[in-house]
Amino acid sequence: MSEPVAPLRLKREKVAAPAPALARNLPIASILVDTGVLHLDQELDFLVPEELTEFLISGTLVKVPFNRKRVLGVVLSRKSSSPYTGQLRFVSELIRPFPLVTPKVLALITEVSQHYGGNRWDTLRYALPNFSSKTRTMESSSGSLQESVHLVKPESIDDRYSVNFWRALQEKPGEKSQVRAFWAPLPAENPLLFLKKLIENIAGSVLLVMPDYVDVERMHELMTSSNKDSGKKVVTWHSQMSRGKREETFIEILQAEQIVVIGVRGSLFLPIKNLDLIMVWEESNDSHCEPRSPYFHGREVAIMRSNIEKTHLILTGSSPSMRSASYIEKRYVIPLTFTAQRSSKPGISVEAINERNSPAENGRISSKAWQVIKSGLKNGPVLIQIPLRGYIQALSCSNCRNRALCSCGGKLILTHEAGVPTCSLCRDLKRSWKCTYCNGQRLRQNQIGDLRLTEELGRAFPNERVVFSNRDHRILTVPDEPLIVVTTPGSEPFAQSGYGAIAVLNSHLLLERATLDSEVETRNRWFYLGSMVKQEGIIYIDSDYTNRNVQALLRWDPIGIALTELDERKSLLLPPAVRGVEVSGEFNAVAEVVRNLPGGALISHPLHANSGESMVLVRVKHQESPAVISEIFRRVKHQSASGARVARVKIDPVSL
């Protein structure tokens, strides 16, 4: 006799769980839900279970059912009724039984989303770590961290700057007593030491935003190695932290009454109590710009948070960006300069090219550059900056000097490993290359990279140690001894006592790039190198003395040259004299967004990339920008709601 067969059940068949008991007091919660779509950014109503009613307050992180899955949400408020006439659903899960998003952070997120046009959750995700399901309690901070009295000592004040500045900085910021300054570091001085003095003069919490984790760790080491105790803990926040460490640090910041936070751009959304000072180091650095939606810039978010929380604000950088130069011109920020009794004369020597046709100024490394390197080795390490990574980054025909190209259009290069020309695009080896202009078969080296330069310097200085530092092989520090360091921009190692000399080679490759800010970025790098040289050291730049950026370096006038370039942009209607909006994506989506915009918007011709996407730059005067940008956001949200291709919008992009 056969056994009875159990009825077939599908895995997706589940027994419906009984509905939880509804909260008796204020049973409806308005929650900002991570919908994942641009056009759904409003609060949604959910039912509050009785078992969670005491925990669901404003700022609490929860999970709710949405679109057949459970997604994150932040409780904004509780209420007794809802205007929604359909069936409401219950909150599914409580992530932590205490608020994680403070009202001030929520106000900042709202302002950032309105300014840059993204969904509020696009910004909110930068304010929260990925919480695990292990630790769900938080100790009360009332007994663990006592509010300490911070006494400013006379030695923590730099008397080269006005005593009124230090007095204003030490006072509690308010509606009419906020310090707003721009500070450019001095030559041959470690700028981080001055940032440390600024932090020591603040009684409350401090937020220092830096470009990348290397700067963050360097500043943290400087702060923690000091013997002075300000009664405030110093923590870091960057992308290299583990998930558990980020959660632990977040809770620590949330608890602390006074704390110093040193982090990258995401730290601007951390829930810091009693925030008195916000500083942005190297505010013109591209790393402060978020590459994902809503494409915010750390400098602008810092200004927004300073306005919301009424804090002191100090923008810093080797040379101001054009945006900061406009703030200086409008007197929104005041340049921090020496008092009348102090001299700001540079403590370094600047060398450049006097006569380009002179034999001493010719060659891959000119005779003057060799002299600078040799003299610098007598005083310590020498830094040599070159723009290109790799071995040989460009080849040309030795007969007609035309660029050597592959049949696909890519330029030919030489790698360290291969001894034959290689296409930079298709990676095809060209063992028998022939010039399409003169049929020549001999190649000459056009542009060398850091690896080839390291080889040449090793042969030229056989008794000296030669190292290189670039994005893929980064050296953080070098000893104070004779040493040659070849580096690419942004990878310069830190020398404790400074470099004996610095040489900048192939500077025209940075100055002549086809971007609007090529001169601004190059100038910023030169002034940054000037702060890395020892007192009475030499910095050599293989550019003409007549170059206005070299002249500004000679005078050590980063703010003056920035204001001069700002005046030029006004006459040409270029950002920041006008608002810039970059619209990119599929061609039809871009055309739909920029077609027939209101006001006097200037719309560029579409640029088509190899990926098939298009990009259009919209320029609009400041007084007309609110209406134009609002209309652009409305059209993009309409694309999202209709299910069509959605164009990407960047407000005031850094790269043009």
The segments of the chain whose pLDDT lies below 70 read 1-3, 8-16, 133-155, 175, 226-231, 339-346, 357, 359-363, 417-418
Rounded to 5°, the CA angle 637-640-646 comes to: 95
Distances (CA, A) of 369 to 351, 366, 443, 449, 481: 9, 5, 26, 17, 20
CA distance 503 to 139: 54
CA distance 605 to 171: 52
30, β-bridge pairs: 45, 77
Cis, bond preceding 294 (omega within 30 deg of 0): yes
Q: Which pLDDT score, from 0 to 100, does residue 142 have?
A: 37
Q: Which pLDDT score, from 0 to 100, does residue 346 have?
A: 63
This prediction has a pTM of 0.90
Q: Which pLDDT score, from 0 to 100, does residue 654 have?
A: 86
Sign, CA dihedral 192-197-200-203, equals: negative
Q: Which pLDDT score, from 0 to 100, does residue 431 have?
A: 81
650, β-bridge pairs: 582
Cis, bond preceding 576 (omega within 30 deg of 0): yes
Distances (CA, A) of 628 to 38, 208, 295, 635: 19, 34, 18, 11
Domains by residue range for the chain, with CATH: 28-100 (3.40.1440.60), 154-335 (3.40.50.300), 349-571 (3.40.50), 579-651 (3.30.70.1710)
Which pair of structure tokens corresponds to residue 253?
Answer: 């910041």
412, β-bridge pairs: 423
CA distance 435 to 395: 11
> In terms of C-beta distances under 8 Å and separation of at least 24 residues, what long-range contacts does 593-598 make, across chains too?
593/632, 593/635, 593/636, 593/639, 593/647, 593/649, 594/618, 594/632, 597/628, 597/631, 597/632, 598/624, 598/627, 598/628, 598/631
Q: Which pLDDT score, from 0 to 100, does residue 146 have?
A: 36
Residue 492 CB coordination number (10 Å): 21
Rounded to 5°, the CA angle 236-304-120 comes to: 85
Distances (CA, A) of 77 to 112, 114, 621: 21, 21, 39
Q: Which pLDDT score, from 0 to 100, does residue 390 have?
A: 87
Residue 14 CB coordination number (10 Å): 8
314, β-bridge pairs: 181, 279
Closest CA to 284 of 318, 333, 238: 318
Residue 271 CB coordination number (10 Å): 22
